[in-house]
């Protein structure tokens, strides 16, 4: 009888623990991760399987990083700590699934969606800033080249008509 009583008490205790424990809900959201368009425009894109996996891993780290957490905090108006989420690649795709847990199913869904939206916002800002930096650099190069062209045009214009052909030829040859 002692063994039966021990089993009954154990099962009853386990049942009571399950009954009083709060349920945990999980909210999921997914996002398609794309390469920055400037990577392909300027020819630095290397789209192979190992780079694709590395790129997805990098984007997952960005999603779990401080700038995205700060944006979630701001967007949701949360003071202090916010719950962490987990992110994982979906198979061998460019899709990342973000999961958040809470005792409230609506909060779990809201957190997962907020992380995805914050990630999109942060990456958009980073991409725009990167493109603006590239535009600035290209503008500097164009300005530098234009100054060289103006200087060469002046040299041609200043040369005597009989020397202009020689000046043009030396400019073409880079002399």
What's the confidence (pLDDT) of residue 143?
94
Residue 114: C-alpha distances to residues 15, 43, 47 (Å):
36, 33, 29
What's the confidence (pLDDT) of residue 97?
95
Query: CA-CA distance, 49 to 47, in Å (whole number)?
Result: 7
Would you state the structure tokens that stand for residue 31, as one six-digit string?
């996002």
Would you state the structure tokens that stand for residue 58, as one six-digit string?
């990098």
What's the confidence (pLDDT) of residue 132?
92
Tell me the whole-structure pTM to 2 decimals: 0.68
pLDDT along the chain (175 residues), means of 10: 81 76 88 69 57 88 92 91 89 93 91 95 91 93 92 79 67 64
Would you state the structure tokens that stand for residue 23, as one six-digit string?
């349920």
What's the confidence (pLDDT) of residue 119?
95
Query: CA-CA distance, 77 to 86, in Å (whole number)?
Result: 21
């Amino acid at each position: 009888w002692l063994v039966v009583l021990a089993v009954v008490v154990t099962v009853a205790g386990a049942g009571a623990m399950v009954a009083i424990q709060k349920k945990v809900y999980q909210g999921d959201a997914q996002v398609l991760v794309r390469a920055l368009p400037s990577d392909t425009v300027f020819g630095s894109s290397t789209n192979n399987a190992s780079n694709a996996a590395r790129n997805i891993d990098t984007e997952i780290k960005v999603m779990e990083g401080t700038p995205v957490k700060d944006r979630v905090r701001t967007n949701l108006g949360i003071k202090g700590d916010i719950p962490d989420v987990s992110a994982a690649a979906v198979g061998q795709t460019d899709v990342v699934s973000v999961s958040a847990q809470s005792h409230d199913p609506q909060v779990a869904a809201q957190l997962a969606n907020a992380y995805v939206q914050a990630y999109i916002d942060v990456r958009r800002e980073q991409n725009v800033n990167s493109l603006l930096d590239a535009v600035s650099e290209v503008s500097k190069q164009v300005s530098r080249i234009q100054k060289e062209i103006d200087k060469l045009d002046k040299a041609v214009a200043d040369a005597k008509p009989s020397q202009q052909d020689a000046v043009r030829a030396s400019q073409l040859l880079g002399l």
